[in-house]
Amino acid sequence: MSSPHSDNGSSDTPSTEGPPQERTSPLHETHTAAGASFTDFAGWQMPVRYSSDLAEHHAVRTAAGLFDLSHMGEIVLIGPEAGAALDYALAGKLSAIAIDQAKYSLLLSRSGGIVDDLVVYRTGEDRYMVVANASNREAVAQELRDRTAPFDVEVFDESDDIALIAVQGPAALSILLATDGLAADEGALDGEDFGERLSALKYYWSLPALFQTHPVLIARTGYTGEDGFELYIAPDNARALWDALIEAGTEQGLVPAGLASRDTLRLEAGMPLYGHELGLDTMPAQAGLGRVVNLAKDTDFIGRAASEEGPHPEAWVLVGLTGEGKRAARAGYPVYAHDDTTGQDAEVGVVTSGALSPTLGVPIAMAYVAPRFARENTPLLVDVRGTRLPFTVTALPFYSRKKR
Amino acid sequence: MAAEQDLKYTAEHEWLLVEGDVATVGITAYAAEKLGDVVFVELPEEGSDVTAGRVVGEIESTKSVGELFAPVDGVVAEANSAVVDAPELVNSDPFGEGWLVKVRFTALPDNLLSHDEYAALTGE
């Protein structure tokens, strides 16, 4: 067979986009000891799988998975005008979120394209943490410095000083509650105990806490479509936290999970991946992210004028596609529509991500298609290495967890 | 199954078990590991002619697609229907139940690798 090549998700980010040297996570030795296979991701050697992509995927859907996301970028803004500065730099109104709240946002170019998609945490009255994709860390840090220069705020790229561990899956809360060493940061306790605070933590809110004596920010966020938490901690303490989570979680079904399963999980959950569904040539409205661009905001922001104008009416839009059988449509494969009157197929789009869904058992994909083919249930064809296979436009997400 | 030491290998990460004029072909454990969980296998039909170096099938994992090359000229004597029905056999037993095709060949190419040569190629 040919040398296996990946064509979606985690492993194909060109290494040339990353830093010149190969970076490793503070958890690298832990992963090696756990038998991980590694992949290059934006210049980082990160675990692609420990044993089986499918087993790791199913563990997250039924119990929990533990992910090392230390390659992500964390850029901290501190200053009395931090909120106003982010309102100008980003598409959302970040000054309006409460302390401890988080918000999904976009960094737009002046022409309205997407420089990166981000999660922004408000960690204090005059303090925010912006979490960027690893491949865009430098660009985001530079843009934030440039855009916020007129404001009374300082920008710090803290990426090398913050590790990130995610616990994702229905057992995530129970595992965190059982983890030795996790405790409330006394200043944030307000009389309630840590377990109550953690259990009550809402989606896209965070809780400053301690692991042993070290600060850890616990956020109820994730990228898998399941309940779960993301834990931000200093690299020196990441290994002890990882080990404590494994120790508490193993009996509840927690397994370490790699980027391969993270990609199929986020695809089932209909979540876009930068470089696939999102990029400089894509406007948020095309990607179904129009709601993230706050045009009601009473202040200017970079990309506002272009966003108000919107994409060209014929610009391709993001859809979900569901196929039959077992053959996946993969990134880059062309999408066709069959015209019954002429008997011809016309190229009307392109696949941006695709896989055989481990949960649903059928091929699923995300694709950009011409707007008139974007309606649900529209029959389309995807050219899978020379064979045109039937797919149907499907509402995103493909998979939603049962809400309790 | 035969001992891995007794198999022949190709630089495309396939193995051959040669018995008389029939070669049983599969992919190596190294290749299966690199692919990840195999979820779909497409094999050539029995009786079809194959030419060494040409693509005759596909092995898809959740993450990627690998092409199956015919390692020899010949005729497909048997395709492993068990692996089509249960592609995970490629991961669980790549040198045994995860075999892919049996080819009745006319001559073996002279660029097949020994176990040691293949091990040197993969660095394992």
The secondary structure of residue A25, as a DSSP letter, is -
The residues that bridge with A349 in the sheet, in sequence order, are A335, A369
> In the structure, what pLDDT confidence band is assigned to residue A312 with cuts at 50, 70 and 90?
very high
Per-residue pLDDT, averaged over A66-81, amounts to: 98
Question: Tell me: domain A9-70+162-268, CATH 3.30.420.40, correct?
Answer: no
Q: Average pLDDT, whole number, for chain A? A: 93
Task: Report CB contact under 8 Å: B63, A326.
Answer: no
pLDDT confidence of residue A1 = 62
pLDDT score, position B3: 81
* Amino acid (1-letter code) at residue A79: G
pLDDT at A19 over 90: no
Instruction: Kindly state the average pLDDT of the residues A134-159.
Output: 98
Report which of A35, A13, A10 is spatially closest to residue B62, judged by C-alpha positions.
A10
CA distance B41 to chain A (A): 9
First-last CA distance in chain A: 46
Q: Which residue of chain A has the CA closest to B26?
A: A1
In whole angstroms, give the CA distance from residue A123 to residue A129: 7
Residues A48-71 have pLDDT tens digits of 999 999 999 999 999 999 999 999
Nearest to B56 by CA among B22, B14, B20: B14
Residue spans per domain, chain A: 9-70+162-268, 73-146, 312-404
Contacts of residue B69, defined as CB under 8 A and 6 or more positions apart, other chains included, come to A1, A2, B10, B12, B14, B52, B53, B54, B55, B56
Q: Report the residue from B33, B68, B91 with minimal CB separation from A1.
A: B68
Average pLDDT over residues A351-359: 97
What is the pTM for the complete model shown? 0.91
Residues of A in contact with B35 (CB under 8 A): 4
Evaluated on CA atoms A110, A115, A119, A122, the torsion sign reads: negative
CA distance B57 to chain A (A): 9
Q: What is the pLDDT of residue A187?
A: 62
A79 burial level (CB within 10 Å; 0-12, 13-18, 19+): middle
Chain A residue with CA closest to B71: the answer is A1
Give the mean pLDDT of A251-272. Answer: 98
Question: Residue range A92-97: average pLDDT?
Answer: 98
- CB atoms A6 and B62 under 8 Å: no
Q: Per-residue pLDDT averaged across A373-388, rounded?
A: 97
Across the interface, whether the CB atoms of A53 and B37 are under 8 A apart is answered: yes
Cis amide bond preceding A397, omega within 30: yes
pLDDT at A188: 54
Q: What is the arithmetic mean of pLDDT over B48-61?
A: 95
Query: Cβ A8–B66 below 8 Å, yes or no?
Result: no
**Residue B62: which of A37, A54, A327 has the nearest Cβ?**
A54
Minimum mean pLDDT among A10-14, A101-105, A187-191, B64-68: which range?
A10-14
Give phi and psi for A51, each to the nearest 5. Answer: -130, -65
Plot region of A140 (φ>0 → left; ψ -120 to 50 → alpha; else → beta):
alpha
| CATH code given to domain A73-146 | 3.30.70.1400
Lowest-confidence pick of A3-7, A84-88, A222-226, B16-20: A3-7
Widest distance between CA atoms in chain B: 37
CA distance A129 to A136: 15
Q: Do B12 and A2 touch (CB under 8 A)?
A: yes
Q: State the Cα–Cα distance between residues A93 and A111, nearest whole angstrom.
A: 19
Mutating which of A1, A56, A57, A264 best tests the B interface, going by the most B Cβ atoms within 10 A? Answer: A1
Gap from A54 CA to chain B (nearest CA, Å): 7
Is the pLDDT at A85 greater than 90? The verdict is: yes
Q: Averaged over A252-277, what is the pLDDT? A: 98
Taking contacts as CB-CB distances below 8 angstroms, the residues of chain A near B62 are 53-54, 57, 260, 264, 355-356, 358
Nearest CA in chain A to B58: A1
Prediction ipTM score: 0.82
Strand partners, A131: A74, A119
| A362 in Cβ contact with A322 (< 8 Å) | yes
> Rounded distance, CA A108 to CA A92, Å?
10
**Whether A7 contacts chain B with CB within 8 A:** yes
- The rounded distance, in Å, linking the Cα atoms of B7 and B19 is 10
Question: What is A312-404's CATH topology?
Answer: Elongation Factor Tu (Ef-tu); domain 3 (2.40.30)
Give the percent of chain B with pLDDT over 70. 98
Question: A303, A108 in Cβ contact below 8 A?
Answer: yes
pLDDT for position A87: 98
What stretch of H or E contains A29? helix A28-33
| pLDDT tens digit sequence for A297-308 | 999 999 999 999
Res. A18: pLDDT tops 60: no
CB contact under 8 A, A1 and B27: yes
Tell me: domain B4-105, CATH 2.40.50.100, correct?
yes
Q: Nearest CB to A9: which of B59, B63, B68?
A: B63
Question: Closest Cα of chain A to B34: distance in Å?
Answer: 7
B113 pLDDT higher than 60 = yes
DSSP A228-264: EEEEEE-HHHHHHHHHHHHHHHGGGTEEE--HHHHHH
Distance from CA of B20 to the nearest CA of A (A): 23
